[in-house]
Amino acid sequence: MDELNFKEIDIETLAKAKETHQFEELSSRIIGAAIEVHRELGPGFLEAIYEEALKIELSEQSICYESQKEIKIEYLGVEIGVHRLDLLVEKKIIVELKAVKELTDIHFAQLRSYLKAADLNVGLLLNFAQSTMEIRRVVN
């Protein structure tokens, strides 16, 4: 009889996976709202235009959000700056909007730093500049 091998998973990894799954429905709703905005407006506008349209669409779908939410950055207990999030949806998911030719590593690093500073685990990076909207989920 073959021996079964079980891969050990540490508690932190399991907790992150559970939290990611927990926000799956909310992520899908946000993405649906963003796709609706992109379908209506298409590519070519500034990021601020997409942000305003997405705020309207989120409100239409009864999804709570905060726009341009400031989060303080501290070093050794001293405030050294402030990050401004495009959207914080239901205090759970950071939505970072872009209208760029292509997403680069710096865009992912920026969202990861926002997640770390806000002590959150899930973020969406949405790029409206393409003919098909680019969607990336980032898990911290």
Q: What is the CATH number of the domain that holds 103?
A: 3.90.320.10
Domain membership of residue 1 (yes or no) is no
Give the chain's domain count: 1
Cα–Cα distance between 12 and 22 in angstroms, integer? 15
Give the chain's residues under pLDDT 50. Answer: 1-7, 14
Domain residues for the domain of 21 are: 11-139
The region that residue 51 occupies, defined by phi over 0 for left and psi between -120 and 50 for alpha, beta otherwise, is: alpha
Q: Is residue 3 part of a domain?
A: no
30 domain residue, yes or no? yes
**Residue 5 counted as domain residue:** no
Enclosing H/E stretch for 73? strand 65-75
Q: How much is the pLDDT for 11?
A: 56
- Rounded to whole angstroms, how far apart are CA atoms 104 and 121? 20
CB 101 within 8 A of CB 129: yes
The C-alpha torsion from 86 through 89 and 94 to 100, rounded to 10°, is: -50
Identify whether 116 is part of a domain.
yes
Average pLDDT, the chain: 89
